[in-house]
Amino acid sequence: MSAPPHGSGVAAPAPPSSPVSGVTPAAPPVPARRRRPLATRLGAYLLLVPAVVAIAVGLGYPLVRQFVISFQEYGLAQQFGRPAEWVGLDNYVALLTDSYVWGVIGRSIAFCVVNAVATMAIGMALAVLMARVGRAARITLQVGMLLAWGTPVLATMTVWQWLFDSQYGVINWLLAEPLGIDGMRYHSWLIEPLSFYFVATVIVVWMSVPFVVFTVYAGLLQVPTETMEAAQLDGANSWKRFWLITIPMIKPVLFVVALLQVIWDLRVFTQIYVLQRAGAPTRETHLLGTYIFSLAKEFSMAGAMATIMLVLTLVLTGFYIRRMLREEEL
Amino acid sequence: MSAQAAPVTAVTTTASGTGRGSRTGRGSGTTRRAGVGRWLLGVLAVVVALLWVFPIYWMVTSAFLPTNRLQTPTPNFFPTNGTLSNFRRVFDDPGFAASFKVSLGVTAATLVAAILFAFVAALAVSRFRFRGRKGFIVTILVVQMIPAEGLFISQYQMLDGWGLVNAIGGLTIVYVAAILPFTIWMLRGFVNGVPIELEEAGMVDGLSRTGAFFRITFPLLAPGLVASGVYGFLQAWNEYTLALVVMTDPAKRTLPLWLQGLVEANRATDWGVVMAGATLIAIPVIIFFLLVQQRMTSGLVSGAVKG
């Protein structure tokens, strides 16, 4: 390779075993010994090229394209070559004047809030529990959480469908036999929207809690014991110590975790989609992700709806993101 | 699709955000009131653990039972004398082998590209000072907030235009873009964790800059590369949504799509074979996850403390 002598810095050749030299658009520069500031800087940019190109192609371009299409009339006819017409905000107007769409948005926000709050509350409680119990109990809890966390989402969805099975599912049996609620013996959980969302919430919370537990637990370990002892000497009881010292100290962690929960729960797709396929009325149970998926044939509508979803995400998380960026030391 | 790795982000934030390094055994103060209270908490912890494990336990035990033993009025909580017939039927399904190959191909291609790209990018942001560096890092963080679930239609159209629908290459393109931001973020923490002084010391001892990098820094980055490799593996192997959109041809299904197909074909009639399929997909992933999770987080914490 006859590249000019790029930077001396830590010019980073690809890992020695890289079998894909053909894939990299710009091979990393050949390191040279001379130090030249300009070349060094160029080297840094060259190192960024593969990542930037990959993200621009896989995410950036679809994002821009979708945004553009959302202002056009673009359906199946355009797929077959007819030029798309600009329609301005028509797609957005059509969506936002449809009360059904508002229903989807409202349900998505409600689902997101309920799930994020439940996940955070349970996760934080279990993290505190994990920090307080002895070694054996802690490891048991950690292993249990890790098992749930490591299970692939589709396997999870599959087993929960079996647990909630109306005829032979364990949950109906549990409700009917030991708990004596006879009406639940053959209950179909997915037919009715509220009960559908309850099942989805149980699954999403079950899957999301381990992550919260481990991160908050890692945060709890960082709280210095001296501070706690000082507070105790000053007469603060454990409840006060928790709310007035621990929580403020691990706030940065809680912040990030809560932000991620909101983002993930707002964009939830797989769980809802799979449960819908399991026999729920789709129209009454759509959330943003599945609704956009159902619009797949009307590209411009889907694009407009996806843009609305993006804006909604930014509105719900913008405050957090700004604060995080301010606090994060880059 | 970053559920599995995010602890890192948060842990990084803890370390740099609070700037407190003192790690103590447990954070909840003194344990003078040991005894009964603590014992009760321990019992509670074990009960919660069992509650969380139960679905996985149920998946595995059901996989070993024939249909007539699953469809009983009272569930069989501690079954004995299992059978392997469910697993045999899964292996006899030609779709399983085909999907396994597709999943393997997509995962391998995604891993190689993502780790290579992320590695060089992480070096750039962590070892170079250049204009736009901060902007790049902020972009990396913000990109992760974009709801991919809103992008799939557009991604499908793009791949369709290039003839890459139902192609491993096409799915790889969207997977790499999806996991790159986080992988860069994670590797950056690892590179930051290796002090540049180590390299400089090597150079004082007569190594060239490249030599110093490969002989000193690179070996120290191995855990980081492994961790990001595992992250990429879990993401690509488990991903469902994009695969559903891109791989519309049943012959090109990835394993999660195959499993969903199996569920839809056997729901309510044959949970045993479905659970066998789910178990086969889940167990290797869970084992893999358990093996590396600890190292992943601990490596990241130590990498993060440096800031």
Among candidates A132, A150, A329 on the partner chain, residue whose Cβ is nearest the Cβ of B285? A150
Q: pLDDT per residue over B222-251, tens digit each?
A: 888 888 888 888 889 999 999 999 999 989
Tell me whether B215 touches chain A (CB under 8 Å): no
Burial of A300 (0-12, 13-18, 19+ CB in 10 A): buried
Contact check, Cβ <8 Å, B148/A167? no
- β-partners of residue A31 are A6
Burial of B149 (0-12, 13-18, 19+ CB in 10 A): buried
To the nearest whole percent, how much of chain A has pLDDT over 70?
Answer: 84
Disruptive mutation site among A115, A290, A330 for chain B (greatest number of B CBs within 10 Å): A330
DSSP A183: G
User: Per-residue confidence at A23, pLDDT binned at 50, 70, 90?
Assistant: very low
Please state the pTM of the whole predicted model.
0.81
Q: pLDDT per residue over A188-207, tens digit each?
A: 889 899 999 999 999 999 99
A residues 108-137 lying closer than 8 A (beta carbon) to B:
126, 128-134, 136-137
Of the listed ranges A34-43, A146-155, B33-42, B102-111, the least confidently predicted one is A34-43
Pick the closest to residue A9 from A22, A23, A28 (CA basis): A28
Tell me what ipTM this predicted complex has: 0.80
pLDDT reported for residue A33: 46
More confident residue, B25 or A160: A160
User: Per-residue confidence at B197, pLDDT binned at 50, 70, 90?
Assistant: confident
**Six-digit token string for B23:** 């790690």
Please say whether the beta carbons of A131 and A213 come within 8 A. Answer: no
Q: pLDDT per residue over A255-294, tens digit each?
A: 878 888 998 899 899 999 999 998 889 899 999 999 999 9
More confident residue, A84 or B124: B124
pLDDT reported for residue B14: 36
Helix (H) or strand (E) holding A85: strand A85-86
Mean of the pLDDT values across residues B8-35? 43
Tell me whether A245 touches chain B (CB under 8 Å): no
Most confident of A180-194, B52-66, B119-133, B218-232: B52-66
Contact check, Cβ <8 Å, A273/B244? yes
Q: pLDDT per residue over A99-144, tens digit each?
A: 999 999 999 999 999 999 999 999 999 999 998 888 899 999 998 9
Mean of the pLDDT values across residues A55-75? 88
**Six-digit token string for B286:** 């869970």
To the nearest whole percent, how much of chain B has pLDDT over 90?
Answer: 36
pLDDT reported for residue B163: 92
pLDDT reported for residue A38: 58
The helix/strand/coil state of A109 is: helix
Among candidates B3, B6, B289 on the partner chain, residue whose Cβ is nearest the Cβ of A146? B289
- List phi, psi (to 5°) of A278: -80, 5
pLDDT(B26) > 80: no
pLDDT reported for residue B8: 39
Contact check, Cβ <8 Å, A154/B56? no
**Six-digit token string for B166:** 């139902």
pLDDT reported for residue B9: 40
Q: pLDDT per residue over B85-94, tens digit each?
A: 899 999 988 8
Q: Taking CB atoms and an 8 Å cutoff, what residues of chain B touch A226?
A: 22
